[in-house]
Structure 1
Amino acid sequence: MAYDAFLLLSFGGPEGQDDVLPFLENVTRGRGIPRERLETVAGHYRHFGGVSPINAQCRALIEALRPRLDLPIYWGNRNWHPMLADTVAKMRDDGVQRALAFVTSPFGSYSSCRQYLDDIAVARAAVPGAPVIDKIRHYHDHPGYIAPHADAVRAALAALPSRMAARIVFTAHSIPTSMNAASGPGGAGRYEAQLRETAALVAAEAAPELPWDLAWQSRSGPPQVPWLEPDINDHLETLAKDGVREVVVSPIGFISDHLEVIWDLDEEARATAARLGMAFARAATPGVDPRFADMVRALVEERVLAHSNVRHALGTVPTWDFCPDDCCASPKRA
């Protein structure tokens, strides 16, 4: 299939103190989140000067992709500038007819996949003459995603006093259990299944002799709504009671060091481990690792050369180019 542009599609984040609350209001619009909760989360951003690292990471990825792609590159966000609708208007004005979108989440769920498809539909509806925009498939088990995470786990293990005494804890953004149950066509719990497969692949490559767990972070919902558990801090408490004294935490749910990584893990989880007397090392995310940037190029080539049947995947949880209509249905808001 022919494409004449590449779109990097991401979550977006504030780039100054004045942006923080308007950004959070965009993120939570229509969800009835109390103002005091927004102020709490705003404090996390303000701790870092009101700047989320995600936009700078998108710019860095774009620069890494320029020499790898023979397509003009555009960038649009769900929640902050550059907003997706503005980017789609620019693409139309530049004469783009059909673009391929790479989303900065490898996994399938409403918030990490279907909502981006909805964002594309809304943005295109707002721009008369908008180009067709197709989304690249999930890449949770692509070698270019697994290898950088595995090397990062090895490096983190080397920073601990005793590698053989360590436990690996993989983390990802928690979501409501109802959203997880609805992820995948017909509701297949694909989000958690993909993450467990990613964790198993990274562990097998980095340290097959060590035990590992999958924990969750960044819960933001009301306490009466069940979310995926255990929370990383609760899990560290459990491990400490079981006698674990060294831990590597690997945020396999993230392609780069988002604010959730540097706050929930580098600040909160690290503090929890210190209180428990545990040695703690946090594994890096892929960022602009050349293998990750090469993966993006490979995914573009895979779609363009769909007839070649070349599909790089290390796992068995299936992925597809076009999501079925019943895939990852929108959760009902409480």
Structure 2
Amino acid sequence: MSKPYVYITRQVPEQLVEPYREIANIGMWKHDDLPVDQETLEKEMAEADGIVTMLSDKVNEEILQKAKRLKVIANLAVGYDNLDLKVIENRGIVATNTPDVLTEATADLTFALLLATGRRLIEADQFVRQGKWKQWSPFLLAGSEMNQKNIGIVGMGRIGEAVARRAKGFGMEILYHNRTKKEEAEKELAAQFCSFEELLEKSDFVVCLTPLTDETKGLFNKDAFERMKQTAIFINVSRGAVVDEEALYDALVSGQIRAAGLDVFQQEPVDPNHPLLSLNQVVCLPHIGSASEETREAMIKLCLDNVTSVLQGKPPVTPIR
């Protein structure tokens, strides 16, 4: 009996793939830093029994029409807004993601971005490199402290709770907004559940970790930024489409809010001429929330565990639903 065929839409380290070659024939896209082209993806979709996709791969009805043998799609991300789940499920295909394994790495990055933005670290680095540091002065590149400040977390899932634990260690007061109350987090961290509007009005740091859904698309709009304190700092490590970027730019330029730290954008890779990139009070990262070596390796292994489990007739390890 021939082995099933699995395709991975990026090149990943062979040492991670090798153990799974006993179970399946595995093909990979030739680049690790460029997305698979449409023609190749369609060809592979027609031949594959299982596929490992990246968050930048759009899996919709059009591409799935080519998938005659496909049994499982493993998405290398927690979010899955790139997958048309309704079409996937209607075709009897299993969809999986990678929860849990990236929680701590993403929380680390979120808090690092919060610190870098609040304490103006990127501005300070450039100030030194550009030869502008001529003397010390009391308010040179003065930023915002964390201690005794309110952090408002929008989206209190696993990553949100991990960020809250870090914030607690910095002496911050934790506010959160979520679809459901998190009683354990409230007990452990003294976190306070708030309406979205109340969180915006009270928070010194507003951290967006909510998944992208029809309800959250454009959640942070002109009205949201107008509700924030003028000293507020906005952090987004979820999805770019949760934010109205034009409204964010206007809020920053007008002084409606103080600064922003962004790991995600509406269009990725972001255009280097994007208006937000022109602002010194914005720290921009290339969607690296989970990008530690340990976590990315764990994510790839989990994807392959999901694929091979389904192809062997077993339940997936982490089904999306």
TM (norm. structure 2) is 0.45
More helix by proportion, 1 or 2? 1
TM (norm. structure 1) is 0.44
Q: Of the two structures, which has the highest relative contact order with CA contacts closer than 8 Å and spacing of 6 or more?
A: 1
